[in-house]
Structures are given as C-alpha cells and as structure tokens.
A and B are shown apart, each in its own frame.
Chain A
Amino acid sequence: GENVEQHPSTLSVQEGDSAVIKCTYSDSASNYFPWYKQELGKRPQLIIDIRSNVGEKKDQRIAVTLNKTAKHFSLHITETQPEDSAVYFCAASISNYQLIWGAGTKLIIKP
C-alpha cells in the first residue's frame, strides 16, 4: 500500500523567510497530492493541492512542486508570517479516495 514520508518534523524559520517541507510517496499510482494546515485543536484545512498531470502550482505565497519520477512533492511558503505557524500535513491518494498522510511538520515562525 501507499506510504508517505514527510520531513522535517519541525521547522523553525524567521518571519519573512521561506519555508520548504518535503514529502515522498511509494505508490506510483497515486495521482492527487493535497497539503493541509492544522492549527492546534482545529480541523485540517486544505491549503493547496496538485494532480499528477501538473508539475507545479502556485497560490499567492504558497506553491507546490511534484516530481513524479522521483515520487516526491514539496510545499513552499514564501514571506512567512506569524499566522503561518501550524502543523502542515502532506497526503497522497489515488483519485482522492482514501488519503494517506504524512506525519506532519510543525512550522514555527520566529518574530
């Protein structure tokens, strides 16, 4: 079955700097890769997703890249702000059925 690994587990960056979180997946049949943000005690919320027919997608300060050959995808956040502090999860699925999640990255934005 699918397995998703996520690194790093904790990332501390200075406000205004960029943050990069990386994930790898094992099942080459996976074709949908969402990223969720979860604040403490709250529900996961989708921030960006990418499908396997696209290599990169951007939404304002957030971008995701996908390398199907290497089976990895990354989240890039530029110009980080205090409200970006949260736990970020990557996930992979085949056609958005069951999502297989990474273990999460705690992003800390230092003032």
Chain B
Amino acid sequence: DTGVSQDPRHKITKRGQNVTFRCDPISEHNRLYWYRQTLGQGPEFLTYFQNEAQLEKSRLLSDRFSAERPKGSFSTLEIQRTEQGDSAMYLCASSGRTGGGYNEQFFGPGTRLTVL
C-alpha cells in the first residue's frame, strides 16, 4: 500500500494516560500534516513538518501535545495527560512538491481516540 498509513486505527484510553500515534506518509512526500476532526466538523490544523523541521503549530496544540518527525519520514503525535476533550479523529496527511507547484494533501485513515 503506497498511501498514507496511521497506527493505531482506534485507541481507547483513560483520562490522564499518555497516548502516541504514528503516521507513515507517502514515501516521496516531504510535507506532513496533523489535523484533528470531531464529529460533524471539518478537520482542524494542528501542525506540519517539512522534512524533519516542524514549521508551524496551531494555537490548538497545547503543551500536552507534541509531534516529531525525527528522520523526515514517519511522524509521531503524543498527547500527555489525556482529557475527555481530546476525544477525536486524528488525521495525518502528506504532500510532495513537484515542479514548484502546489500539491494535493493525501490523507491517512485516521486514528480515532476515545478518552474515558
């Protein structure tokens, strides 16, 4: 499968626990994005990487959230001390730059987080 993959697909955790999600982008894509989507809403931007550099973070991303992309390939998103309000679908997307133009963001299947 050459698309964006995410692991796990579902995560149920208790409030206060830490969770970590993984995203594997399309291999030649240098940009990687994290979004959060709650039921009935559009995705909200969280952060994005160009190669290994985290270039932008949303104000939605509290200090309990951290994201890494250590070698410019896969990325992890960690949420510490989870709260019930963190329950959502966490979507990862990647895009590649060709010919100096803009490119489509390809989305992964998402990780659905439920905080009890």
Using CB atoms and an 8 Å cutoff, list the residues of chain A in contact with chain B. 6, 32, 34, 42-46, 49, 51, 89, 91, 95-104
Contact = CB atoms under 8 A, between A and B. Distances in A.
Given A46-B105, A46-B106, A103-B42, 17 more contacts: A6-B42, A34-B105, A42-B109, A44-B91, A45-B107, A51-B102, A89-B42, A89-B43, A95-B102, A96-B102, A96-B103, A99-B33, A99-B35, A99-B43, A99-B105, A100-B45, A104-B40
Interface residues of B, number: 23
Given A43-B91, A43-B109, A34 B41 contact: no
Contacts, number: 52
A89 B105 CA distance: 14
B108 interface: yes
Given A46-B104, A96-B95, A97-B56, A104 B45 contact: no
Interface of B: 33, 35, 40-45, 48, 55-56, 58, 91, 95, 102-110
